[in-house]
Amino acid sequence: MARPRTFNTDDAVEKAMQVFWTHGYEGASLPDLLEGMGLTRGSLYKAFTDKKTLFLKVLEHYEGQAVDSGVAVLESADIPNGADRIMTVFTGAYRAVTEGDQRGCLLCTAAAGPSTYDDEIAHAVSKGLGALRDGICVALQASPKHEDMSDEAQGALADMLIAQYMGLRTMARARIDTNTLRNAVRSVGVMLA
């Protein structure tokens, strides 16, 4: 008779997310994951099958936390001007760095890493970044300067802004100086002005 699972799967995924976020997919070793999750090798493999399956669950969890909260800001009627919503997301990313979090965005890290060679991971990354892009489009529709743009023009601007976001978050992970990061955020303000 198999023993019942003695750990909370959601808690284990949260802990694994912290390990992957800190070390990246390739850099997160099995010992790192076991220590960070507080699991044995057998428990990890029984619950999650392998590292890739665990990482896919982590990306789904990250989307439910970080991505969904970013989309909520981008779509929030509490901030009437959509350009201000976009700036809130960018300044929040910058503020995280100035407060000591230089991990960047887990999706951006995965985009530059395992999604380059794994279709399932690439799909998960694309889904999360696509949700942010769609949120940016909603914000642009609520921006007086951009609301009359064609859908195509709004889409192109949203693509440029998501690329800027990925660049900002990747530079944060690379520990680029805060003056450069601040200028990257300011350039978004210039694009939206």
Closest residue by Cα to residue 73 from 93, 103, 57, 100: 93
Whole-number pLDDT of residue 1:
47
Domain boundaries, the chain: 51-192
- pLDDT digits over 3-38, tens only? 545 779 999 999 999 999 999 999 999 999 999 999
Domain 51-192: state its class. mainly alpha
Tokens coding 33: 């994951």
Question: 96-99 contacts: CB < 8 A, separation 24 or more?
Answer: 96/172, 97/172, 97/178, 97/181, 98/178
Tokens coding 55: 């990482």
- pLDDT digits over 68-113, tens only? 999 999 999 999 999 999 999 999 999 999 999 989 999 999 999 9
82-98 vs 178-192: helix axis angle to the nearest 10?
180
Residue 50 DSSP SS3? coil
What pTM was computed for the model? Answer: 0.91
- Listed in sequence order, the residues at least 6 apart from 104 whose beta carbon sits closer than 8 Å to its beta carbon are 169, 170, 171, 172, 173, 174
